Every structure is written in structure tokens, then in C-alpha cells.
A = this chain, B = another copy of it.
Amino acid sequence: MRVGRRAVLAGLTGLAALPVAGAFVAGVTSTAQAAGDPLSSWNDGPAKQAILDFVQATTDKTNPKFVPIEARIATFDQDGTLWVEKPMYAQVIYCLDRVPAVVRVKPELAKVEPFKTVLSGNRGAIAKFSMADLEQILVATLTGMSVDRFKDEVKDWLAKAKHPRWNRPYTELIYQPMLEVMQYLRANGYKTYIVTGGGQDFVRVYAEQVYGIPPEQVVGTIGGTKYGYDKDGTPFLTKEPRLLLNDDHAGKPEGIHLMIGRRPYAAFGNSIGDQQMLEYTKAGEGARLATLVLHDDDRREYAYGPAEGQPDSKVGTFTQALYDQAAKQGWVVIRMKEDWRQIFPFE
């Protein structure tokens, strides 16, 4: 059920691109960045060492594991891998927050479920939504508008919305250690991509400013668009409720093939939604790095890995089976509590 809901949540998203207010890329070069150590917010340990070794081996021409620069592709899941995914995906909160605006345009929806419940603000009832309910909300809030309009709406929301625990914009709740990994890979000729179950257009709105990843390097769940003309004959694209790719689970390698056309050499994830991306990455020849972020730090962030029995989490399913597969297939598990000296850029 969790997985199914995850798929639906991921399923209906979509289209757009441009930067957000803040300058969070600055986080990359925060005080945590000590001279000489590209991964300075990481504690020494097997995870940090595996990343350093991988980059060293694949960029050294004398090493048999050398990878030519044009083939250096690294992919990153977003929710739970690059930023906080608890207590709920930011994009789902976006959709719920957008409901009043949708109802203002279509007042008849105010009396219709699930919109009525969303407007009531009853979090308990919202948490019990069926997949069909969520799908209705996603379609109503993520499609039907122009690509440019959607982009503006997301930008506006990101500038105002705050995470309930830290009272900060979602775009600040990004992991400093992962920003360092992305920057380190790029400094070594790797092209970094986001490969997310979230909406491709949603993530494109902020990925360049927040992570330094341009729109064309965001692979996500893709909805169709429709080309048309306004009354002045100016062409524009409308976001349609038509799913082209659910970029989660098996959809991740499919999305990577669609958008990149090359197999990654390194892939970073944190849940069963990333399993196939990591398998696909590791199945390539030569040196391949597959990693999973394990959330085991309830004090500084959240704990919802296998050891914690996944307490009432709707998202980020790091199961025991995934943990076992990681051990068996040589994937690197990044343990937040031990491996990350610092979690957020603002700390």
C-alpha cells in the first residue's frame, strides 16, 4: 500500500523550469568545507572512503577502471537522498496547499471530496486519503495550466512554504554531505543528474539554484504536454493529466535510458524506489558505485530504516530486504548518524 501510494504520488506530476529565491548553492561552500577535503562534512569511514576511491579510480588514466569523461554520469534520487522527505514529500504538501487556489477558480469543488476534506484542514482525514483521492488532487493541482504558469506557482510556493519541524523553506533542508558529493563529482568531470519519483517539472523549478543541476539534467515522473496557441497566436504548452513515465522503481532505469541514454557509473538512493536504479548501475562494466542513505538519526533528522521498524512513515521505505540486497551486491550504505558530521548547510 505504501509503495502503491508512493507510485501514485509520483505518478501525476510534470512540467517547468527556473530558479527560486534563495542562493542555496552557497551551502556547498559553507563553513563545513575545510580546505583540501572535498567531503569535509563527512566523518571518516567506509562510506566516505568508497566515494573517494571511486572518483580516484575512474578519473586516473593509468587505472584500469578509468572512465572517459563523456561517460561520467552520476544519478541522485531526490526525496530522502538530497533533501528531507519527512513527514511528507514536499510536492504532496505543495499539491494540498494549492487546493484553495484551485477551488477559487472552480468553487463547485469546495463541496466535493476529496477537496472538501483538504479545505477542512483535518490532517487525520487527509492522511487516510485513498489513492484515488490523491490522484484527483494531483491532477487538479499539477495539470491543466501552462508550463510557465505552473513554474510560477511552484516558485511562489517555495518562497513561502516552511517545513513544520525546522520552520525553514524546504529548499534549505538539503543535505550538506550530498551537496559536497555532487560538487566533488562535477569537479571530476561527472555530469550529475537527479532521478526522482517526483515530478520532473516540479523539481526543475529549483534544482539549478539549489543543487546546481540544470533542467535538462532532471529526470523525474513525466506528464505529457500539449502544444497550442493563445488568442494572439502565441504558442504555449499545457500540462496534461497523461502519465508518460512513472520514474520510480523499474521506471528509474527506464527514465535514465529515456533522458540520458547511458548507464550511470554512480547512483545514490535511499529507498526501495531506488532499487532498480542501483541494480542497473552496478550491472555495468568496470567500476560502479551504488549507495543508499540510511536514515538512522532521529535526533538530527529522522530514523526510518529497517532497525527502526519504519515507524508510521508514509515515505522512504528502506526495508530489511533492501538492506540485505545492499550487503549482497556491494552497495555502500551511508549511515546518517555515523557518516555525516553535519547534515544541513545552515548548521
A-side residues, CB < 8 A to B, are 15-17, 70, 147, 191, 200-201, 204, 208, 214-216, 218, 222, 224-227, 234-237, 244-245, 250-251, 253-254, 257-262, 276, 279-280, 283
Contact = CB atoms under 8 A, between A and B. Distances in A.
A224 B261 contact: no
A245 B147 CA distance: 17
B254 A224 contact: yes
Contact of A235 (B147, B214, B251, B279): B279
Given A215-B261, A224-B254, 17 more contacts: A70-B208, A147-B257, A200-B258, A200-B261, A215-B260, A216-B259, A216-B261, A218-B261, A226-B250, A227-B251, A227-B280, A234-B283, A235-B253, A235-B283, A237-B254, A244-B245, A259-B259
Contact of A225 (B147, B258, B279): B258
Nearest to A151: B261
Number of chain copies forming the complex: 2
Interface of A is mostly: mixed
Given A227-B276, A262-B216, A280-B227, A257 B237 contact: yes
B258 A222 contact: yes
Contacts of A253: 227, 235, 237
Contact of A261 (B201, B236, B244): B201
A204 B16 contact: no
Nearest to A229: B279
A302 B346 CA distance: 63
Contacts of A147: 257
A284 to B, nearest CB: 10
Contacts of A201: 261
A250 B191 CA distance: 30
B262 A250 contact: no
Contacts of A216: 191, 216, 259-262
Residue in A216, A222, A257 with the greatest tally of chain B CB atoms within 10 Å:
A257
Nearest to A279: B235
Contact of A244 (B70, B225, B227, B244): B244
A258 B235 contact: no
A70 B208 CA distance: 10
B279 A254 contact: no
Given A235-B283, A237-B253, A283-B235, A261 B227 contact: no
9 contacts: A17-B261, A191-B216, A204-B261, A216-B259, A224-B254, A227-B253, A227-B276, A235-B279, A244-B244
